[in-house]
């Protein structure tokens, strides 16, 4: 059965009331509002407070994007190879390519410190909804309301930081219906322990990306240190000897990035007709540029590997999501659900403001469309596609923002974000002039194409030169690769920035007024008005449906539940799990041609492997981008797998959940240990994971 047919069948059954979505294993649940009754009724599982706390505090967020978990008493953290890829790239050199060759620390002394990696562990959640909402008074203008909301969240965050020393962020949930204060323990001494060769971690490459069956050892291990000693975490996940079993109830604790399930039809139509097509064109352009540049030499390919992988992955994800929005059956399902909801609202006089909210959100999309191109190119930085411009902008804005009262600063310069911002700003990551120049030349060309050669900001950016010549001038002329120079500019504040003759500092200064103006429009006329409107819709949903539901994803910790289960596709039964035998069969049928070739040691040691051992598996858990690296655990909170992807049918989960064919993909815990022991010369790591002496 095709993906479209499945969507159609599900939609028809749901519309007919024959398959209520409430009976699916749906939900990215808050840890302070877990689905206890559903789990008890459906699976006979008692999600106790102690079980939830243990899983919550074992989970880890990678601020580079992705999830992970503590998996040993000595601070070992497990995530995906593709989550660790950025660190592998930063640690690699021309002579030592850890992405291609893999990495193994045989002793603690061999563990390599990550350049600028930050891990967060969620320690506490506090509901601050009433305090935030009390500051936004009726009759306030959008500008006044935005400032009031921004001020109170900054004040709450600063109070919490001062009181606890923990990273503190106020998170908007239910599109503004609730506000929760999240307190995180930060870890920045993070060291690389193990990574396999990328060719086995991402076997099948782009052709097999988002497909299943799969055969990927997509795993990477780090260790967290405190005071130069391995961390002894209070909570860590023990390893399951059996691993995931077909039909078993399993849980995923991770950090899904963003979903759009609560969006109105007006917003979904904007994404379908304007937002996603624009993003797709930009991704395609960037992918072509990086691919062409990479093809010029092996060293070019090494330097661009991480960024190209990220672009390709995003392109395919957006392609699948756009396909969902272009599916008329899916959109009709969403439209019918909104119609029914609005009919229920209309029956209640006290909810009349929610009826107006739908029209307000529709009007916001017109403002969004009008300014989207300029906002993306200028304030979003897409027109200046080099890390060096990002550094320059951070320095320019830090000089202007830091003297302000904390709650009047731009969000990224508040005290709660300061440590993370400085970690990124003073990173000693490798920066390659030739790659940065190629990226900047391409993005300046795109900027001129997008806004027009006579646009004021385009003129400032090009300064009377061609994009290629201007990019060369800027990259060759800047000194911002020097971390100590960045520190002196940062510490020197406005005086140092105004006196600087660095060409990228000058460019960041020149385009900042218009960029800030665009940000103000989006903050007040798009973000704030949407937040107010969705707040009214959330009130209506709570009044009609109750509060026992989950909000859209926000790259904060969530719990998803489901079962290990295969599915039917095109008349074939797709098994729950693949095996190592399947890996070698897949490579052979493709004649070992890239990306289906195998590292030499995987060919040499085939005879040592248990070919019947499970390698990858699928489950019905509700996940999305950001969940990469999440642990899959059983009822006993033991690791049975490691999330690394979703199948192609799961790409509609941005907007609607279905478990007919949609599946989360994971590396099997037994498959990980088998590889460590039999191929990767890492038995000592396998022993640490399994708790063996």
What are the tens digits of pLDDT across the range 98-155?
A: 999 999 999 999 999 999 999 999 999 999 999 999 999 999 999 999 999 999 999 9
Question: Does the structure show a pLDDT above 50 at 56?
Answer: yes
By three-state DSSP, how is residue 393 classified? helix
For residues 540 and 538, give the distance between their C-alpha atoms in angstroms, rounded to a whole number: 5
For residues 302 and 300, give the distance between their C-alpha atoms in angstroms, rounded to a whole number: 5
Contact 470, 462 (CB under 8 A): yes
Q: Is the peptide bond before 595 cis (omega within 30 degrees of 0)?
A: yes
Question: Does the structure show a pLDDT above 90 at 383?
Answer: yes
For residues 613 and 15, give the distance between their C-alpha atoms in angstroms, rounded to a whole number: 42
Half-sphere CA count of 122, side-chain side, radius 13 A: 30
Q: Which residue has the tokens 């830091």?
A: 402
Task: Kindly indicate the confidence band of residue 687, based on its pLDDT and cuts at 50, 70 and 90.
Answer: very high
Long-range Cβ contacts of 300-306 (<8 Å, 24+ apart):
300/434, 300/435, 302/92, 302/94, 302/97, 302/99, 302/100, 303/432, 303/435, 304/435, 305/85, 305/89, 305/99, 305/198, 306/85, 306/86, 306/88, 306/89, 306/99
Contact 435, 443 (CB under 8 A): no
Task: Kindly indicate the confidence band of residue 380, based on its pLDDT and cuts at 50, 70 and 90.
Answer: very high
191 membership: H or E segment, kind and range: strand 190-195
Mean predicted confidence (pLDDT) in 359-366: 97
Contact 304, 293 (CB under 8 A): yes
By three-state DSSP, how is residue 416 classified? helix
Tell me how far apart the 2 most distant CA atoms of the chain are, in Å: 74
Residue of 163, 167, 128, 164 lying closest to 149 (CA atoms): 128
In this structure, the strands spanning 178-187 and 119-127 are: antiparallel
Task: Kindly indicate the confidence band of residue 546, based on its pLDDT and cuts at 50, 70 and 90.
Answer: confident
Per DSSP, helices labelled H in 382-482 are 387-401, 415-425, 433-451, 456-462, 467-477
Class of domain 3-118+188-250+551-690: mainly beta
Question: Does the structure show a pLDDT above 50 at 16?
Answer: no
By three-state DSSP, how is residue 365 classified? helix
Surface-to-core class of residue 121, CB atoms within 10 Å of its CB (0-12 exposed, 13-18 middle, 19+ buried): buried
For residues 206 and 200, give the distance between their C-alpha atoms in angstroms, rounded to a whole number: 13
- Three-state secondary structure of 294-347: HCCCHHHHHHHHHHHHHHHHHHHHHHHHHHHHCCHHHHHHHHHHHHHHHHHHHC
Percent of the chain with pLDDT over 70: 97
Question: Does the structure show a pLDDT above 60 at 3?
Answer: no
Task: Kindly indicate the confidence band of residue 692, based on its pLDDT and cuts at 50, 70 and 90.
Answer: confident
- Residue 693 is predicted with a pLDDT of 65
Contact 77, 87 (CB under 8 A): no
- Residue 681 is predicted with a pLDDT of 98
Give phi and psi for 414, each to the nearest 5: -75, 165
What six digits make up the tokens of 50?
A: 């102690």
Rg (CA), the chain: 25
- Residue 547 is predicted with a pLDDT of 81
Mean predicted confidence (pLDDT) in 618-639: 98
Give phi and psi for 572, each to the nearest 5: -110, 145
Percent of the chain with pLDDT over 90: 95
Contact 654, 630 (CB under 8 A): no
Beta bridge partner(s), residue 641: 632, 668
482: which residues sit within 8 A by CB, 6+ positions away?
A: none
Contact 335, 655 (CB under 8 A): no
For residues 286 and 66, give the distance between their C-alpha atoms in angstroms, rounded to a whole number: 22
Q: How far apart are the first and last CA of the chain?
A: 49
Question: Does the structure show a pLDDT above 70 at 215?
Answer: yes
For residues 438 and 265, give the distance between their C-alpha atoms in angstroms, rounded to a whole number: 40
CB atoms under 10 Å from CB of 387, counted, come to: 18
Using one digit for the tens of pLDDT, what is the confidence trace for 284-343?
Answer: 999 999 999 999 999 999 999 999 999 999 999 999 999 999 999 999 999 999 999 999
Question: Does the structure show a pLDDT above 80 at 237?
Answer: yes
pTM: 0.94
Task: Kindly indicate the confidence band of residue 23, based on its pLDDT and cuts at 50, 70 and 90.
Answer: low
Residue of 73, 101, 74, 312 lying closest to 199 (CA atoms): 101
Per DSSP, helices labelled H in 500-640 are 503-521, 528-545, 580-589, 600-604
Question: Does the structure show a pLDDT above 90 at 24?
Answer: no
- Residue 217 is predicted with a pLDDT of 98
In this structure, the strands spanning 76-79 and 614-619 are: unpaired
Residue of 546, 535, 559, 622 lying closest to 125 (CA atoms): 559
Q: Which residue has the tokens 């709570």?
A: 542
For residues 363 and 358, give the distance between their C-alpha atoms in angstroms, rounded to a whole number: 9
By three-state DSSP, how is residue 225 classified? strand
Question: Does the structure show a pLDDT above 80 at 6?
Answer: no
Question: Does the structure show a pLDDT above 60 at 11?
Answer: no
- Classify the phi-psi angles of 20: left when phi > 0, otherwise alpha if psi is within -120 to 50, otherwise beta: beta
Contact 649, 662 (CB under 8 A): yes
Mean predicted confidence (pLDDT) in 170-189: 96
Q: What is the dihedral of CA 374, 380, 383, 389, to 10 degrees?
A: 140
What six digits make up the tokens of 123?
A: 């320690």
- C-alpha to C-alpha distances, 516 to 146, 371, 449, nearest whole angstrom: 15, 13, 22
Q: What is the dihedral of CA 142, 145, 150, 152, to 10 degrees?
A: 180
Residue of 245, 246, 217 lying closest to 580 (CA atoms): 217
- Classify the phi-psi angles of 651: left when phi > 0, otherwise alpha if psi is within -120 to 50, otherwise beta: alpha
- C-alpha to C-alpha distances, 570 to 1, 2, 7, 329, 395, nearest whole angstrom: 4, 6, 14, 19, 55
For residues 116 and 424, give the distance between their C-alpha atoms in angstroms, rounded to a whole number: 6
- C-alpha to C-alpha distances, 271 to 276, 281, 536, nearest whole angstrom: 5, 14, 22
Contact 300, 293 (CB under 8 A): yes
Question: Does the structure show a pLDDT above 90 at 4?
Answer: no
């Amino acid at each position: 059965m095709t993906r479209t047919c499945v969507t159609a069948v599900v939609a028809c059954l749901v519309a007919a009331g024959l398959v209520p979505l409430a009976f699916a294993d749906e939900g990215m649940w808050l840890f302070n509002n877990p689905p206890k009754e559903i789990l008890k009724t459906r699976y006979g599982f008692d999600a106790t407070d102690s079980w939830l706390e243990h899983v919550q505090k074992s989970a880890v967020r990678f601020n580079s994007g992705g999830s992970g978990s503590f998996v040993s008493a000595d601070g070992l953290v497990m995530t995906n190879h593709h989550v660790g890829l950025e660190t592998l790239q930063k640690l690699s050199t021309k002579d030592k390519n850890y992405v291609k060759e893999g990495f193994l620390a045989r002793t603690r002394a061999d563990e390599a410190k990550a350049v600028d990696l930050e891990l967060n562990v969620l320690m506490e959640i506090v509901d601050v909804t009433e305090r935030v909402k009390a500051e936004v008074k009726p009759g306030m203008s959008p500008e006044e309301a935005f400032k009031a909301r921004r001020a109170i969240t900054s004040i709450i965050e600063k109070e919490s930081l001062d009181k606890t020393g923990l990273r503190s962020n106020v998170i908007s949930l239910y599109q503004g219906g609730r506000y929760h204060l999240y307190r995180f323990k930060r870890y920045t001494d993070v060291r690389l322990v193990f990574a396999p060769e990328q060719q086995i971690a991402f076997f099948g490459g782009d052709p097999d990306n988002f497909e299943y069956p799969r055969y990927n050892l997509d795993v990477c291990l780090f260790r967290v240190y405190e005071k130069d000693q391995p961390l002894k975490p209070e909570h860590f996940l023990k390893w399951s000897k059996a691993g995931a079993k077909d039909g078993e109830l399993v849980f995923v604790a991770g950090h899904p990035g963003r979903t759009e399930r609560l969006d109105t039809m007006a917003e979904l139509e904007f994404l379908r007709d304007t937002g996603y097509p624009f993003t797709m064109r930009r991704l395609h352009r960037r992918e072509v540029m990086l691919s062409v540049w990479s093809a010029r030499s092996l060293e070019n390919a090494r330097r661009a590997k991480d960024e190209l992988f990220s672009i390709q992955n995003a392109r395919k994800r957006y392609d699948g999501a756009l396909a969902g929005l272009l599916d008329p059956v899916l959109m009709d399902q969403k439209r019918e659900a909104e119609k029914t909801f609005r009919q229920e609202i209309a029956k209640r006089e006290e909810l009349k403001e929610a009826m107006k909210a739908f029209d307000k959100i529709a009007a916001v999309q017109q403002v969004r469309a009008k300014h989207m191109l300029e906002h993306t190119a200028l304030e979003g930085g897409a027109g200046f596609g080099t890390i060096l411009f990002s550094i320059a902008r951070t320095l320019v804005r830090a000089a202007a923002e830091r003297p302000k009262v904390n709650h009047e600063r731009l969000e990224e310069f508040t005290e709660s974000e300061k440590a993370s911002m400085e970690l990124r700003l003073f990173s000693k990551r490798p920066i390659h002039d030739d790659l940065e120049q190629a990226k900047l030349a391409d993005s300046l060309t795109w900027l001129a194409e997008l806004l027009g050669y006579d646009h004021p900001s385009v003129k400032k950016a090009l300064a009377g030169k061609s994009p290629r010549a201007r990019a060369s001038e800027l990259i060759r002329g800047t000194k911002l690769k020097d971390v100590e120079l960045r520190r002196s500019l940062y510490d020197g504040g406005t005086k140092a920035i105004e006196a600087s003759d660095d060409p990228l500092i000058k460019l960041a200064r020149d385009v900042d007024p218009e960029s800030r103006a665009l940000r103000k429009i989006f903050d007040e006329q798009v973000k704030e008005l949407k937040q107010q409107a969705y707040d009214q819709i959330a009130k209506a949903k709570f009044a009609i449906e109750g509060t026992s539901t989950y909000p859209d994803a926000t790259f904060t910790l969530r719990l998803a539940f489901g079962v290990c289960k295969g599915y039917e596709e095109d008349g074939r039964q797709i098994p729950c799990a693949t095996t190592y035998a399947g890996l070698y069969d897949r490579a052979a049928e493709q004649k070992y041609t890239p990306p289906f070739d195998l590292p030499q040691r995987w060919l040499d040691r085939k005879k040592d492997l248990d070919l019947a051992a499970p390698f990858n598996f699928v489950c019905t858990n509700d996940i999305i981008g950001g969940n990469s690296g999440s642990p899959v655990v059983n009822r006993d909170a033991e690791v049975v797998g490691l999330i690394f992807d979703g199948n192609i049918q799961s790409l509609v989960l941005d907007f609607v959940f279905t478990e007919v064919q949609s599946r989360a993909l994971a590396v099997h815990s037994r498959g990980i240990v088998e590889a460590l022991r039999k191929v990767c010369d890492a038995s000592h790591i396998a022993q640490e994971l399994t708790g063996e002496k």
